[in-house]
Structure formats: C-alpha cells, structure tokens
Structure 1
Amino acid sequence: MCFSLMTGCSHRPVAVVGSKCYATAMPTVGEGGLAWGDSQRSARTTALDNCERYASRSGGTPSTCRVVEARCK
C-alpha cells in the first residue's frame, strides 16, 4: 500500500489537492471504492466506478455497489 504522493503510486486513488468533496461506495460483497472530486456528483460517480472495479477484482458483487457516504468540506 502506498501512502506518499511523492512516490508516484498511480495504482491507488489519491486525493487531488484542492478537492473539496469525497464519496465512498460499497458493494454487498467485496471491496468498495473511495473518490475525491470538485463536486459531490463527480466524487459519487468516481466512487461507484471504483467500487465496481474493486468488487470485480475481489470476487465481490459489482452490480450491488451503492454510495454509502458523500460529503463536501
């Protein structure tokens, strides 16, 4: 797992400097997704896309992904 913006860990979603909104999406089974964006709508859309991708990779149920939290600073 990568925690540094300096190391260039492009395989992990990284908060864009200045992004004010985030969203988390979870499937019934498998890994979910987190995303940051300039608006709640963009964060929700990206979180759902990430959830579907990660749920598929983890043997979960991508069709059941739902946004469970979305907030702006």
Structure 2
Amino acid sequence: MTGITERKGSTWGLLSLLAISLVLIPGCSGNKSTTRYAAPRIGSACYAKALPTVGEGGLAWGDTLSMARQKSLSNCARFAGRSGGTPSTCQVVLSECKH
C-alpha cells in the first residue's frame, strides 16, 4: 500500500517541477538578443584587403576607398603581429567600391 502512495507522491512532485519550469520559460524568452560583433555599416560601399609578406592580413569596409584602405592596413598590422608575421610589410592588394 505504501508503494502506491509513494508513486503518486513522486508523480505529483515531477508534475509540479514541470509546471514551474514551463511558467518560468516565457519570462526568459522575451529578452531581446544584442549583437555582439561589429557588423559593417549599411551603406559602406568600398572595401580593401591588405596582406603582409608573412602572417595574416586584414579586410575592411569603409564609406570611401581611402578609408577602407587605411582600415585594412591597420587590421593587417594588428593581425600580422598576433600571428607572428611582419606587420611593417603590410600592403593593400585589393581595393574597390561597389556600384
């Protein structure tokens, strides 16, 4: 007799936990997610790619061709330094504007 009572009690306990978790879920799903990376601005029509002789290069977008070239050189120097390359040898190898 006690075995049947214990099963009913554990069933109610499980159902209670399930009900509580279902009540709490909608509270968390209403949070808006935020972008955690820097996406290129809408309207940046120009891009440039710079590469060092050794190491990783950099790609950048900008409103003007000169801005994109400058950003890509800066990115190239940073990434080349991190990857054990030669930051002082960065050169722009590709640059153009859409349209």
TM-score range, shorter chain: 0.7 to 0.9
Tell me which stretches of 4 or more aligned residues in structure 1 moved more than 2 Å: none
1:9 is matched with which residue? 37
Name the counterpart of 2:61.
36
More strand by share: 1
Question: Where in structure 1 are there 5+ consecutive unaligned residues?
Answer: 1-5
Residues matched between the structures, number: 65
The 5 A counterparts of 1:1-73 are: 7-10=35-38, 14-73=39-98
Q: Which has the higher contact order (CA 8 A, sep 6+)?
A: 1
Cα deviation 1:6-55 (Å, max 9, x = unaligned): 63124xxx321110000000000000000000000000000000000000
Identity %: 60
Question: Could you tell me how far apart the structure 2 residues matched to 1:50 and 1:43 are?
Answer: 10
- Bigger Rg, structure 1 or 2: 2
Residue equivalent to 1:3? none
Letter in 2 for 1:59: G
Q: CA RMSD in A?
A: 1.1
Q: Which amino acid aligns with 1:9?
A: Y
TM-score (norm 2): 0.62
* Alignment gaps of 5+ in structure 2: 1-33
